[in-house]
Chains A and B, each alone.
Chain A
Amino acid sequence: MTTIDNESNVVLATNTDFKVVGTRPVRHDGTDKVTGRALYGADYDASGLLHGKILRSPHAHALIKSVNTSKAESLDGVKAVVTASDFPQVADKTVELGEDDTKLEWLRDNILASDKALYGGHAIAGVAAANPHIAEEALKLIEVEYEVLPAVLTTQEAMADNASILHKSLTTQELGEDTGVVSNVASHFQHVKGDVSKGFAEADIVKEREFNTTTVHQGYIEPHNGTAFWSADGRLHVWCSTQGSFVVRDSLADLLDLPVSMVRVTPMEIGGAFGGKIPIYVEPVAALLSKKTGAPVKIVMSRKETFEGSGPTSGSYMKIKIGAKKDGTITAAHAWMAMEAGAYPGSPVGAAAQCVFATYDLENALIDGYDVVVNKPKTAAYRAPGAPNAAFGTEQVINELAEELQMDPIEFRLKNVAVEGTRRPDGPTFRRIGAKEVLEAMRDHPHYQSKKQEGQGRGVAIGFWFNIGFDSACNIAVNSDGTVNLTEGSTDIGGSRTSIAMQAAEVLGIPAEDVRPSVVDTDTVGFTAVTGGSRTTFATGWAAYEAAQDVKQQCLERAASIWDVDVDGLQMEDGVISSTADSELRMTLKELASQLGSSGGGISGSASVNPGGVGGSFAGNIADVSVDSDTGKVTVERFTCVQDAGKAIHPSYVEGQMQGGSVQGIGWALNEEYFMGDDGNMNNSSLLDYRMPTALDLPMIDTVIVEVANPGHPFGVRGVGEANIVPPTPTLANAIYDATGKRMTELPMSPGAILAAE
């Protein structure tokens, strides 16, 4: 069934047998956010609050010979100064970071450098003072003696013979074995399926290209922030903007050598994140300063610090080779991908390898991945981390093959598309997926069916993100007025309170507005993993579903007890409890709620889940562009995003994810990059010079929500946060090629790059 809400936003709904799921209620936290009442991390205040600032390295690679803080400490208004030596010295171990793990030593050194500064902007010391201006003045009084070392800024530089080495303790893991060789290559892994030599030999045509992408930032509008208060009772309380309050808690416990129960994290409203607010940066520094002063300490990053001292995503160097027969069957594919991890191991190359060929059913495939450290900030997740880089390569080579085979690029993709039962080169076999349905919706879309405008180019591409499950918890308590309070631990970046509440409402048969959702602190709800990996509406929604089922069952039992009948004959639908045997036995949830106190006490339910039925999501784009032949400027004239949501719980916020991801991809494709100077420092760390798309740079972003239900979720949800950023870079590259005949193999495709291209 097709519902067209307006001609630009289409929902291809496959299951409309719901009362709440699939509707578009106003979000529960909306009024606070349009009136300025919502409290974000930087809005937190406490009596006796001190303000912290962080001193950062002006060098991209340097030994730290000494740090002298005495002059800073004696400045009027300064209350404390901390350096890496203030961390408790605990034995190194592996620590969980939400979506991956690292060594405690690396996590600690990234927060305050000990012996070496590894990137321009690397934190060296923290100051707490009566106000932020005094703290800033004090930074200038800290004396640091550096011995500057040569910096490596790209994978090519870092992998070269005789490259400057970041970590003397880092040896390359080669296909899982420690080589003992000290290098900037943390690891090389491989996925093999079939025999690529045989596959390429069977091909009638083979296309191979190299691709380069540069470092880009998530660009959330709210800088990192955190307030810490280390109470005299030994408990540490932190208020911050984070994607995962439990990750902050656990990381702080590891770094500060505390039991997790001695740390409480209250997530404030969060002003955008996109993966960048999974790691912690300022919170441990604020905690150390609070311990020294006995006062709450707040640290808020500047925009410059956010660019230079948080975690952008990887620049990458990739070689993609694909062969096909004349009939359009792909016979083999090889991806060689090296991705920048930043200063410590852990680039998204592993995730990229899971996505690079996921759209296609390949008999023979080989994927080589290299995780490479460079003198840039430690990378963090950014929306489908690694996948957009990979797709920039794959989806251009696919178009080149289609062109040479004189096949329509969507039909060529459909001929090779992965379906249920297809085994990905990295191992997993797909359950029900919607790659085919997304491509068909693209092909059938009025945009693709229309004649393109004179002088414009059109491009298409598709991308994949696997999505994750992980732990989520939810509590639901029935109020005496028949509404329910829902508490959950997933910080809400884009309306997830509502998409979670709607799933509970659907089970209970009550309006979404009758569920009151709250995101609560780590003392108040069970362990919940990060808001990331497109998992929140899927996994925390599942926890809400289970908790609501628990509440529903208790309501039935209570009604049975009130009516003195067997619970087996009772049902609850649309918020009404009734008996199949006796039509006189009928009571609304509201009526039951009003007599809970007199019938045995309150009702509440809870659930902790770690669902296994994760369903990956595919997203595809159609874009029309014009390219100014004098300036090289690309104008996106029309843009359509198609994505498989499984089931769109709240279609407006699914569309919002699709539109937002598309536009981040457009920015990545056309404008955004870290300009690194010869000294290894970032030269454009402001929102003037790091050019993100404005409203004026864009057309409307049309959407089609495809619903291929995920069999692993009660409502069919897949999770929609990420796949949408994967196709824009190759879509626009393919459109630019169509307009100009120029094959762009480097990002960004800025005006200068387009003019310079052959």
Chain B
Amino acid sequence: MPGKTYVQTTINGEQVDFLCEPRQSLLECLRDVIGLTGTKEGCNDGNCGACTVNMDGRVVTACLVLGVEAEGANIETIEGVADGSNLHPLQLAFLENAALQCGICTPGFIVSSKALLEQNPDPTEHEIRFWLANNLCRCTGYDKIVRAVQDAAKRLQEA
């Protein structure tokens, strides 16, 4: 049985320390060790984007990051997107544009879209589609997701 490593991170603004085995992914650590189950597993090989988190300003699929690689990292998950009980404009836009059906991909889309709008506050439809091509949704056909991101961009600019 491999020994465990002590990992210190910041998750959603709070210091979070945890023990993990070398073979455990950041996704497994978030879900099964720390208890943050908002980050979802769809494929465990980096192709569906359901486990997208923000790590030191980059969007990554948490299934392709080892837990031990998170040492010293600043991580934001879906649980950290809202400001307390105030939903982020992206979350409101997803709700009001019916941009989710089953909702399993939604955390990944919101984390990913938030990073897009931080870099590019007024993306074109093509730029949104290009950025979100790493997040698979099987329910919506993406139409309402694209509209929600456009709507959120507008809300953020007006704020």
Decide if A and B are genuine partners.
yes
B95, B129, B143: most-surrounded residue (chain A CB, <10 A): B143
9-residue interface stretch from A259-267, A316-324, A657-665: A657-665
Could you jot down 19 A-B contacts, CB within 8 Å? Answer: A30-B94, A34-B106, A34-B107, A35-B91, A36-B37, A36-B107, A42-B41, A77-B1, A218-B138, A221-B138, A222-B104, A272-B101, A493-B102, A493-B139, A663-B142, A687-B42, A692-B138, A695-B135, A696-B130
A652, CB-defined interface residue at 8 Å: yes
Contact of A694 among B98, B125, B133 (CB under 8 A): B133
Tell me whether B95 and A26 are in contact (CB under 8 A): yes
Tell me whether A222 and B42 are in contact (CB under 8 A): yes
Within 8 A of B (CB), among A668-708: 686-688, 692-698, 700-701
Tell me whether B136 and A271 are in contact (CB under 8 A): no
Contact of A76 among B1, B39, B81, B136 (CB under 8 A): B1
Tell me whether A659 and B129 are in contact (CB under 8 A): no
CB-defined contacts of B140 to chain A, threshold 8 Å: 656, 659-660, 663
Tell me whether A659 and B141 are in contact (CB under 8 A): yes
Known: A493-B101, A687-B43. Is A701-B139 also a contact (CB below 8 A)?
A: no
B110, CB-defined interface residue at 8 Å: yes
List the 7 closest A-B pairs by CB distance, nearest first. A36-B38, A271-B104, A663-B141, A33-B103, A36-B78, A659-B141, A652-B98
Residue of B nearest to A663 (CB): B141
B68, CB-defined interface residue at 8 Å: no
CB-defined contacts of A76 to chain B, threshold 8 Å: 1
Instruction: Provide the A719-744 mask, 1 if CB < 8 A to any CB of B, else 0.
Output: 00000000000000000000000000
Tell me whether B48 and A687 are in contact (CB under 8 A): yes
Q: How far is the CA of A663 from the CA of B138 in the complex (A)?
A: 8
A274, CB-defined interface residue at 8 Å: yes
Within 8 A of A (CB), among B51-78: 77-78
Tell me whether A686 and B43 are in contact (CB under 8 A): yes
Tell me whether A31 and B95 are in contact (CB under 8 A): yes
Known: A221-B42, A692-B136, A696-B130. Is A35-B37 also a contact (CB below 8 A)?
A: no
Chain A residues within 8 Å of chain B by Cβ, number: 62
B87, CB-defined interface residue at 8 Å: yes
B29, CB-defined interface residue at 8 Å: no
Tell me whether B91 and A656 are in contact (CB under 8 A): no
Known: A221-B104, A222-B40. Is A35-B82 also a contact (CB below 8 A)?
A: yes
* A269-B104, A659-B143 given; 17 more Cβ-contact pairs under 8 Å: A34-B110, A42-B41, A133-B24, A221-B138, A271-B42, A272-B139, A303-B43, A494-B101, A652-B97, A656-B141, A663-B141, A686-B47, A688-B45, A688-B47, A694-B134, A695-B128, A695-B129
A727 shortest CB reach to chain B, Å: 14
CB-defined contacts of B129 to chain A, threshold 8 Å: 694-696, 698
B124 shortest CB reach to chain A, Å: 13
CB-defined contacts of A34 to chain B, threshold 8 Å: 87, 91, 94-95, 100, 103, 106-107, 110
Instruction: Provide the A17-52 mask, 1 if CB < 8 A to any CB of B, else 0.
Output: 000000010110111011111111011010000000
CB-defined contacts of A36 to chain B, threshold 8 Å: 36-39, 77-79, 107
Known: A27-B98, A221-B48. Is A40-B40 also a contact (CB below 8 A)?
A: yes
CB-defined contacts of B1 to chain A, threshold 8 Å: 76-77
CB-defined contacts of B42 to chain A, threshold 8 Å: 221-223, 271, 303, 687
B11, CB-defined interface residue at 8 Å: no
B132, CB-defined interface residue at 8 Å: yes
A220, CB-defined interface residue at 8 Å: yes
Tell me whether B47 and A30 are in contact (CB under 8 A): no
B44, CB-defined interface residue at 8 Å: yes
A539, CB-defined interface residue at 8 Å: no
B14, CB-defined interface residue at 8 Å: no
Q: How far is the CA of A65 from the CA of B156 in the complex (A)?
A: 65
Contact of A221 among B134, B136, B141, B146 (CB under 8 A): B136
Tell me whether B141 and A698 are in contact (CB under 8 A): yes
CB-defined contacts of A42 to chain B, threshold 8 Å: 37, 40-41
Q: How far is the CA of A494 from the CA of B141 in the complex (A)?
A: 13
Q: How far is the CA of A606 from the CA of B47 in the complex (A)?
A: 45
Contact of B142 among A494, A495, A695 (CB under 8 A): A695
Known: A35-B82, A35-B91. Is A687-B136 also a contact (CB below 8 A)?
A: yes
Q: How far is the CA of A471 from the CA of B142 in the complex (A)?
A: 33
A485, CB-defined interface residue at 8 Å: no
CB-defined contacts of B43 to chain A, threshold 8 Å: 303, 686-687
Tell me whether B138 and A219 are in contact (CB under 8 A): yes
Q: How far is the CA of A652 from the CA of B95 in the complex (A)?
A: 11
B149 shortest CB reach to chain A, Å: 10
B26, CB-defined interface residue at 8 Å: no
Tell me whether A695 and B146 are in contact (CB under 8 A): yes
Tell me whether B132 and A695 are in contact (CB under 8 A): yes
CB-defined contacts of B39 to chain A, threshold 8 Å: 36
Residue of B nearest to A271 (CB): B104
Q: How far is the CA of A101 from the CA of B79 in the complex (A)?
A: 42
B75 shortest CB reach to chain A, Å: 13
A270, CB-defined interface residue at 8 Å: yes
Residue of B nearest to A6 (CB): B147
Instruction: Provide the A179-221 mask, 1 if CB < 8 A to any CB of B, else 0.
Output: 0000000000000000000000000000000000000001111
A658 shortest CB reach to chain B, Å: 8
A653, CB-defined interface residue at 8 Å: yes
A502 shortest CB reach to chain B, Å: 13
Within 8 A of A (CB), among B106-159: 106-107, 110, 125, 128-130, 132-146
A302, CB-defined interface residue at 8 Å: yes
B96, CB-defined interface residue at 8 Å: yes
CB-defined contacts of B97 to chain A, threshold 8 Å: 652
Q: How far is the CA of A655 from the CA of B143 in the complex (A)?
A: 10
A671 shortest CB reach to chain B, Å: 13
Instruction: Provide the A402-434 mask, 1 if CB < 8 A to any CB of B, else 0.
Output: 000000000000000000000000000000000
CB-defined contacts of B136 to chain A, threshold 8 Å: 221, 687, 692, 694
A649 shortest CB reach to chain B, Å: 13
Q: How far is the CA of A655 from the CA of B99 in the complex (A)?
A: 11
Tell me whether A656 and B139 are in contact (CB under 8 A): yes
CB-defined contacts of A694 to chain B, threshold 8 Å: 129, 132-134, 136, 142
CB-defined contacts of B77 to chain A, threshold 8 Å: 36
A660 shortest CB reach to chain B, Å: 5
B42 shortest CB reach to chain A, Å: 4
CB-defined contacts of B94 to chain A, threshold 8 Å: 30, 34
CB-defined contacts of A655 to chain B, threshold 8 Å: 98, 143-144
Q: How far is the CA of A218 from the CA of B139 in the complex (A)?
A: 10
Residue of A nearest to B79 (CB): A36
CB-defined contacts of A687 to chain B, threshold 8 Å: 42-43, 45, 47-48, 136
CB-defined contacts of B82 to chain A, threshold 8 Å: 35
